Amino acid sequence: MYTQQVLEAFDHDFPSAALGVVIPHGVYDVKRNQGHVTLGTSHDTSEFACDSILRWWQHQGQTAYPRATSLLLLCDSGGSNSAGQYLFKQDLQGLADRLALEIRVAHYPPYASKYNPIEHRLFPHLTRACQGVIFHTLDLVKELMKKATTSTGLHVTVDIIDKIYHTGRKYTESFKETMPIVFDAVLPKWNYRAVPSLS
């Protein structure tokens, strides 16, 4: 990994020259100061985001919070977990049903994501851990990110999902018509709950 030799590399990230892609999705547990990063090899979709949350819950969340009845997700307003995407809400509802947990989502509006704790308590330390390294393998990225720590005790786990996520998926028409998502009275565009169905 470390060398005193000169390594040749492109000065920009050219997709045409790459052998693959690495798409990170992070979950940061504010209470325990622990990060969980899921590395995807396909596309950044709402399905991938929900699978990442599922992996965190299966590997850490349910052990750390065995009596939990709900989860709170602080999300940005764009990307795979966009506030305006019905597909994200549909996949989130599926996750709530699967976990039998209410999932409350609070989106940060555009240009306000800098206030999200994950932006300054996890992501900068992942960037620092990977700084100056040419990514040759997925395992290299995983090992680097696992080493991200801070003096306040940040601990990071990393998981890989090697699954094809298709772009262009559409939410079902019936979901929009009968959407079980419960929107808050205050700022409903940004704040809502996916309540697990009883069936």
Q: Is there a contact between 38 and 159 (Cβ–Cβ < 8 Å)?
A: yes
Nearest-Å Rg of the Cα atoms of the chain is 18
49 and 81 Cβ atoms separated by less than 8 Å: yes
User: Is 2 a domain residue?
Assistant: no
Asked whether residue 182 is assigned to any structural domain, the reply reads yes
What string of DSSP letters covers 34-76?
A: EEEEEEESS---HHHHHHHHHHHIIIIIHHH-TT--EEEEEE-
Number of domains in the chain: 1
- Residue 11 in any domain: the answer is no
Kindly report the pTM of this predicted structure. 0.91
38 within some domain:
yes
Q: Is the per-residue pLDDT at 116 higher than 70?
A: yes
| Tens digits of residue pLDDT in 147-164 | 999 999 999 999 999 999
Cα dihedral 178, 180, 91, 105 sign: positive
The reply to whether 104 falls in a domain is yes
Domain assignment of residue 16, yes or no = no
In this predicted model, what pLDDT tens digit does every residue of 56-113 receive, in sequence order? Answer: 999 999 999 999 999 999 999 988 999 999 999 999 999 999 999 999 999 999 999 9
Range of the domain at 27: 21-194
**Is residue 1 pLDDT above 60, yes or no?**
no
Is 199 a domain residue? Answer: no
The pLDDT assigned to 44 comes to: 95
Residue 94 placed within a domain: yes
